[in-house]
A and B are shown apart, each in its own frame.
Chain A
């Protein structure tokens, strides 16, 4: 797909803020028909008001209708699509090209986001919070550590996505080759693996409390169970197994 040369263009601050805030609700109508398509239209809408004819013009309606169709991406990276699509519409890119671009954009934004956020950043922040709990952190401290660290990345990522999307328009694919996006999951994942090793025993010990007599048994069962779950890979979900084991344990403890 060839992208036409672009001129410098800026969104009015009010429009940018409206789009940014709407991005937090981009999955508001998530469904199996259009996925987050309607959310993309909802977030792009403030910029589309700037099309010739404004809210009552045919260009506005045509563009809004185009963006309400099926679309899927990682929610935090949806801003890249919203920015780029808004830019394409304001630049007067022909509709068939916008639609092809829109179709091509979803997959990469989904996979980059899944690897960077769900499989790296979220587990890392979660493990840091568990470590803080394990070290005896008070409730407000543990919550604050988790929410502040996680959301610095979250809020920044959404803002960056919208900014880079609008700035680059149809050329936004180049931004997805940013070193943070390419190397980030590996670096964050490596750090998370180290912190996981420290945090899990600390958190487990904190839940047990002062009672340490059964520690050896707990470690043995946990390690064997962990190896079994790891070997089974994606074939079983540990929380479902936990639910079954807990149900049996509760039953045993009540009726014996």
Chain B
């Protein structure tokens, strides 16, 4: 993947990174959407969907409450989906290595959101008098500054992550020594454990939810067994 090839993916990461907080929060940044779209950009939407489902299971745990700090799944899912979709089909280690790259990106991208918020705050402080005197241009200016800053942030995060991780993941997959079955099983076990714990944490206080959750698990297990 040459540098110019990364541009469409980076632009997708920019738009979906923005969706997480600033605009329009329509949840096109959710992993199951973002990674699938990234996979489609690479020409392998089904692979993107698999990565999206894996990341979605992990993302269930992190609820974006108020001012809490959380991983930025939009750009990270684009990176994970694009990386996984660009590896040979069923390559041992591709899922685990791409997921690792996506999580590192989510971590760093979450930090970049904090930096942008501080930057917005310094703009707001600098323009405080103008804002409080009701300057329309100051209000609109701060809003546009934040929106364009977030777009740029998502672009840079995705571009740099792809630049670093694409060759790295390709090299890792080429030297991967663990059996493909065990590699995939390890990933599934990890994300399923996190999602089960997350669902329990979110819903355990709701009356009857625990019972329904267990009943659902029984139905799900039965469907799996019958297929």
Q: Which residues of A contact B (CB under 8 A)?
A: 24-25, 27-35, 38-39, 41-42, 45, 55, 60-66, 68-69, 72, 75-76, 110, 114, 118-119, 122-123, 125-127, 129-130, 133-134, 138-140, 142-143, 146-147, 150-151, 154, 186, 189-190, 192-209, 211, 213-214, 217-218, 221-230, 232-234, 237-243, 245-247, 249-250, 252-254, 256
B7 on the A face (CB < 8 A): no
Among A33, A45, A190, A246, max chain B CB count under 10 A is at A246
Assembly CA distance A76 to B190 (angstroms): 33
B62 on the A face (CB < 8 A): yes
24 A–B contacts, CB within 8 A, in A order: A29-B123, A38-B131, A61-B135, A65-B132, A65-B133, A65-B134, A68-B131, A142-B36, A147-B28, A190-B209, A192-B202, A196-B203, A197-B212, A197-B218, A201-B224, A206-B53, A208-B184, A211-B185, A217-B185, A233-B201, A238-B193, A239-B62, A239-B194, A250-B172
Additional A-B contact list (15), CB under 8 Å, known A196-B199, A222-B188, A249-B178: A31-B117, A41-B131, A68-B134, A123-B63, A143-B32, A194-B216, A200-B196, A201-B224, A225-B196, A226-B196, A226-B197, A229-B194, A237-B62, A239-B61, A253-B96
Residues from chain A with a CB closer than 8 A to the CB of B27 are 122, 125, 146-147, 150-151, 154
Shortest Cβ distance from A39 into B: residue: B143
**Contact in complex: B30, A146 (CB < 8 Å):** yes
Residues from chain B with a CB closer than 8 A to the CB of A192 are 199, 202-203
Quick one: CB contact mask for B123-145 with A, threshold 8 Å, 1 for yes?
11100000111111011101111
**Contact in complex: A189, B206 (CB < 8 Å):** yes
Tell me the smallest distance from the CB of B187 to a CB of chain A, in Å.
Answer: 7
Instruction: Pick from B8-16, B38-46, B154-162 the stretch touching chain A.
Output: B38-46
Q: Is the interface of A mostly helix, strand, loop or mixed?
A: helix
- Partner of A197 from the list B95, B186, B219, B227 (CB cut-off 8 Å) is B219
Shortest Cβ distance from B182 into A: residue: A214
Assembly CA distance A256 to B103 (angstroms): 23
Residues from chain B with a CB closer than 8 A to the CB of A35 are 67
B99 on the A face (CB < 8 A): yes
Residues from chain A with a CB closer than 8 A to the CB of B123 are 29, 31
Assembly CA distance A219 to B85 (angstroms): 27
Residues from chain A with a CB closer than 8 A to the CB of B210 are 193
Assembly CA distance A63 to B135 (angstroms): 10
**Contact in complex: B209, A123 (CB < 8 Å):** no
Tell me the smallest distance from the CB of A145 to a CB of chain B, in Å.
Answer: 10
B78 on the A face (CB < 8 A): no
Assembly CA distance A217 to B178 (angstroms): 17
**Contact in complex: B203, A189 (CB < 8 Å):** yes
Shortest Cβ distance from A218 into B: residue: B189
Residues from chain B with a CB closer than 8 A to the CB of A233 are 201
**Contact in complex: A228, B185 (CB < 8 Å):** no
Residues from chain A with a CB closer than 8 A to the CB of B209 are 189-190, 193
Tell me the smallest distance from the CB of B67 to a CB of chain A, in Å.
Answer: 7
Assembly CA distance A45 to B140 (angstroms): 10
Residues from chain B with a CB closer than 8 A to the CB of A123 are 60, 63, 199, 202
Residues from chain B with a CB closer than 8 A to the CB of A130 are 32, 53, 56-57
- Partner of A118 from the list B64, B183, B185 (CB cut-off 8 Å) is B64
Query: With A25-B24, A139-B45 as given contacts, are A64 and B192 in contact (CB-CB < 8 Å)?
Result: no
Assembly CA distance A140 to B121 (angstroms): 39
Residues from chain B with a CB closer than 8 A to the CB of A25 are 22-24, 143, 147
**Contact in complex: A198, B40 (CB < 8 Å):** no
B2 on the A face (CB < 8 A): no
Assembly CA distance A192 to B213 (angstroms): 8
B58 on the A face (CB < 8 A): yes
**Contact in complex: B219, A198 (CB < 8 Å):** yes
Residues from chain B with a CB closer than 8 A to the CB of A30 are 21-22, 117, 120, 146
- Partner of A202 from the list B49, B135, B220 (CB cut-off 8 Å) is B220
**Contact in complex: A246, B139 (CB < 8 Å):** no
Assembly CA distance A194 to B54 (angstroms): 20
